[in-house]
Amino acid sequence: MLIEERIRESIAVKERILHDTGIVEMIGQISELLLETLKSKGKILFCGNGGSASDSQHMAAEFIGRFQCERHPLPAVSLNENTAILTAVANDYGYDAVFARCVEGLMRAEDVLVGFSTSGDSENVYRAFLKAGEIGGSTVAFLGKSGGKIWKCADYSIVVPSNCTARIQESHIMIGHIVCEIVERSLHNEEISHCLIRGS
């Protein structure tokens, strides 16, 4: 049946990720980067198109709200959120410029840009990465298929081993949740330690 087949496909992609030590290590490195960024008072910017735009907003919500434990909100923003900005920039400069323009206005050298692109070739995400590089900020790419041109310019990248957009997106959000949990647990434990020190 189709249902079982799709579930097996999703599991198979995740199994490939699980057994790819390079991807597993990269997840750890990205988690450490975001953790250090937040500790240094930097912020995280997210962007993507279509389903990846939803992933962008989803991840920003996990950081601003909470994931699995109570803690202070963490500075994160999805560049997809403001339709007035997106439509104004698209109208005046073209859709390829929408994220780069936001990055130019919002990003600082201490920040991180996280871009989602299942193909790795989304032009507006690519241009945003180039602009982030000019500013001196760090870039993290969640990709699929061959990794595309974004893979070549990202500081850190995860290329999900699949050519199916749906399976790639399912893996992106799984990895995003893992990263969020690692960051949250680390910061939560630090907050608890600070409370114990102040209370002693």
Residue 47's beta-bridge partner residues? 115
What is the pLDDT at residue 191? 57
Evaluate whether 80 touches 106 at the Cβ level (below 8 Å). no
Domain of 132? 2-199
pLDDT for residue 157 is more than 60: yes
Counting the structural domains of the chain, the total is: 1
Evaluate if pTM is beyond 0.95: no
Give the ranges where 40-159 is alpha helix by DSSP (H).
51-64, 83-93, 98-106, 123-135, 148-153
What single letter denotes the amino acid at residue 32?
Answer: E
Q: Determine the average pLDDT of the residues in 157-185.
A: 97
Give the Cα separation of 142 and 150 in Å (integer): 9
Q: What angle do CA 14, 63, 18 make, to 5 degrees?
A: 15
Per-residue confidence at 189, pLDDT binned at 50, 70, 90? confident
pLDDT for residue 72 is more than 50: yes
**64 C-beta neighbours (distance < 10 Å), count:** 14
Give the Cα separation of 186 and 184 in Å (integer): 5
Residue 117 phi/psi, 5-degree rounding, is: -155, 110
- What's the CATH number where 157 sits? 3.40.50.10490
Quote the DSSP letter at residue 140.
E
- By 3-state DSSP, what share of the chain in percent is helix, strand and coil, each rounded to 5? 65, 10, 25
Question: What's the mean per-residue pLDDT of the chain?
Answer: 94
What is the pLDDT at residue 195? 38
